């Protein structure tokens, strides 16, 4: 193992009651941070305007745009993880933090997330990169603030890093793309969910089944997911889903379409940063072997603890990753 984080990673030291990776992962999605922001007067939420984005080829995605009346520091686009949304706790709190620092914020929803199953007939899958780039093109037309960055969590982190890899060729060159707990090796992520803690497997499985039901209800003439009800492993589900709905010849071809390697990241045409935890129960740390802050990767933070998208420091629910991203964005203004 040759993956090594930057010095900043050593500054995350959670208080002992919160050190367990499963607890960190649960707190990422379920914690009282929303109430804390609202008690403080949540200007990000008050400013949020819903948007439906024409992404090209008839695809529409949604999101919420919170902008400052004057002189923003720039624009931060945030992308949630699989089966998350603009309202997921980890993303919502990051949006509040960055808005409070002076950044315009756009919280983008991927296809078939945030209850948008009726918006597009074809189902979501993780290789649908063109529509995310199309969404970013519309977002930049709405908000041309500079610098601009994109930050994603988990699968959203994979999408964010792909923006840094593929965006410049499409005329979308972010000043920084940040992946937080990014799934860069999706095959390994599926295996980790299948063999990892039961609480996380149930969490993802319940969300997946709810999403399938919503898609079928929205398009009953197109979908009947009854055959999926007996599946218990995400590896098997993915193999079946790829054959049924993606157009890829094999599951291996599908997973390869959004697999990212450390070498790819360090050669990206736009600056990237990666924040992950070595105890992440969903993203195996071995996936990052060979990655370092070199070339296009301006920062690689591999904290010893933090779970999956957690990084909660104390019982006040302060989040180290929010401050870390804030510092990375501050450096863009220098």
Q: How far apart are CA 319 and CA 304, in angstroms?
A: 15
Q: Is the pLDDT of residue 54 over 50?
A: yes
pLDDT for residue 7: 57
Mind listing the pLDDT tens digit for each residue in 120-150? 999 999 999 999 999 999 999 999 999 999 9
pLDDT for residue 2: 40
Three state DSSP letters for 240-256: HHHHHHCCCCCHHHHHH
By the 10 Å C-beta count (0-12 exposed, 13-18 middle, 19+ buried), 166 is classed as middle
Q: Which tokens belong to 289?
A: 């072997």
Higher pLDDT residue, 197 or 268? 268
Report the chain's mean pLDDT, rounded to a whole number: 94
Mind listing the pLDDT tens digit for each residue in 141-199? 999 999 999 999 999 999 999 999 999 999 999 999 999 999 999 999 999 999 988 88
pLDDT for residue 231: 85
Closest CA to 321 of 303, 304, 296: 303
**Which domains does the chain possess?**
7-332 (3.40.50.1820)
Q: Is the pLDDT of residue 4 over 60?
A: no
Q: Is the pLDDT of residue 35 over 90?
A: no
Q: Where are the beta strands (DSSP E) in the chain?
A: 49-54, 60-66, 75-79, 104-108, 148-153, 176-180, 272-277, 297-303
């Amino acid at each position: 193992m040759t993956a090594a984080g930057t010095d900043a990673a050593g500054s995350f030291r959670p208080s002992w009651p919160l050190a367990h990776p499963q607890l960190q992962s649960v707190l990422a999605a379920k914690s009282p941070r929303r109430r804390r922001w609202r008690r403080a007067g949540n200007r990000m939420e008050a400013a949020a305007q819903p948007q439906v984005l024409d992404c090209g080829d008839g695809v529409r995605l949604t999101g919420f745009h919170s902008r400052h009346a004057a002189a923003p520091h720039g624009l931060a686009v945030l992308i949630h993880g699989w089966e998350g949304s603009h309202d997921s706790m980890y993303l919502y709190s990051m949006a509040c933090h960055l808005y409070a620092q002076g950044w315009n914020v756009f919280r983008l929803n991927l296809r078939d997330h945030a209850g948008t199953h009726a918006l597009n007939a074809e189902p979501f899958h993780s290789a649908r990169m063109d529509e995310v780039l199309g969404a970013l093109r519309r977002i930049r037309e709405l908000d041309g603030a500079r610098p601009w960055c994109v930050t994603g969590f988990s699968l959203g982190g994979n999408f964010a890093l792909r923006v840094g890899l593929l965006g410049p060729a499409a005329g979308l060159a972010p000043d920084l793309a940040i992946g937080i707990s990014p799934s860069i090796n999706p095959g390994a992520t599926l295996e980790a969910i299948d063999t990892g803690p039961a609480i996380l497997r149930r969490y993802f499985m319940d969300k997946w089944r709810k999403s399938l039901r919503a898609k079928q209800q929205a398009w009953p003439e197109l979908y009947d997911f009854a055959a999926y009800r007996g599946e218990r492993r995400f590896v098997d589900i993915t193999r079946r889903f790829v054959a049924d709905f993606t157009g890829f010849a094999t599951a291996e071809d599908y997973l390869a379409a959004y697999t990212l390697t450390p070498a790819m990241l360090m050669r990206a045409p736009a600056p990237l940063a990666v924040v992950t935890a070595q105890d992440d129960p969903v993203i195996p740390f071995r996936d990052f072997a060979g990655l370092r802050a070199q070339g296009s990767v301006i920062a690689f933070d591999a904290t010893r603890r933090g779970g999956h998208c957690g990084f909660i420091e104390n019982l006040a629910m302060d989040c180290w990753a929010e401050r870390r991203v804030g510092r990375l964005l501050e450096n863009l203004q220098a």
